[in-house]
Amino acid sequence: MTGELSPIDKAKFVAAKRAADMVEDGMRVGLGTGSTAAWLVRCLGEMVRDDGLKFKGVPTSTRTAELARDVGIEVISLDEAKWLDLTIDGADEFDSELNLIKGGGGALLQEKIVATASDQMVVITDASKEVETLGAFPLPVEVIPFGWQTTKALIEETLVSMDVLGRQTTLRMNGEVPYITDEGNHIIDLHLNRIGNARQLAMVLNQMPGVVENGLFIDICDRVVIGYGDGRVVVRDINEGTEEEDRLDFVEDDNLFSDLLE
């Protein structure tokens, strides 16, 4: 398998593999959405199949739920689980305090609900996602369809008084029609370039009528697992103030991962 993987995919794979080892029998685990989270679900499916791992997964999107079922993971809803031991998800950006921008895959609302209903949140990522200051990646804001243009204008007006470098906003599209989230909402992407006070911006955005949730995850992530293309993995724990480095061997042949390479 590794001969077909790009360095970035190798980094995502080893991060996912390392995080999968954190899942233990009997756990209730939030399963993230996105390309890196897909590697995680595949790794966990392999552990269910080959090692007899028994746990219950709570997906953060319909596509994650479908993938989890396909690889043999028992899927339940958050209402059934009530509370989770662990959520493992990707991120579009993270800073030194493990604050995140998420929502590039369009599932930020369910991702934030699941993450905050967990004892711990672990982010799996590659080194390119680490930034000094959040904001280079567009910040997604989920809004209800009714009056979305008014909500967009209100957001733009509010950004004038925020500590941000850019103020362009765009409605996320799916081809020629607006992108629709699993909850039936739209997403407005904020092209801010730099966010000086992420905590303040998150609070202000969520006070606006029409805004459902924003992609700033503040004080939610506990650990980040950073993968590298040479197999190195760094695990950073914000609560313990620790950083550990390891190296993982690649699995050369496993059809669980074949469709991720297409």
Confirm whether residue 241 is marked as ligand binding: no
Confirm whether residue 102 is marked as ligand binding: yes
Half-sphere exposure of 195 (CA within 13 A, CB side): 26
Confirm whether residue 106 is marked as ligand binding: no
Task: Specify the DSSP element, H or E, that contains 67.
Answer: helix 62-70
Confirm whether residue 33 is marked as ligand binding: yes
Distance between CA atoms of residues 23 and 124, nearest Å? 14
Confirm whether residue 54 is marked as ligand binding: no
Please tell me what DSSP assigns to residue 42: H
Contact yes or no for 60/148 (Cβ under 8 A): no
Confirm whether residue 91 is marked as ligand binding: yes
Please tell me what DSSP assigns to residue 136: S
Confirm whether residue 105 is marked as ligand binding: yes
Task: State residue 218 phi and psi, 5-degree precision.
Answer: -105, 125
Q: Which residues contact 262 (CB under 8 A, 6 or more apart)?
A: none
Confirm whether residue 12 is marked as ligand binding: no
For residue 111, indicate whether it is catalytic: yes
Please report, as a single letter, which amino acid is at residue 157: E
Q: Which of 46, 93, 111, 142 is catalytic?
A: 111
Confirm whether residue 96 is marked as ligand binding: no
Contact yes or no for 244/235 (Cβ under 8 A): yes
Rg of the chain over Cα atoms, rounded to whole angstroms, equals 18
Pick out the residues of the known binding site for substrate: 33-36, 89-92, 102-105, 129
Pick out the residues of the known binding site: 33-36, 89-92, 102-105, 129
Query: Which residues form the catalytic set?
Result: 111
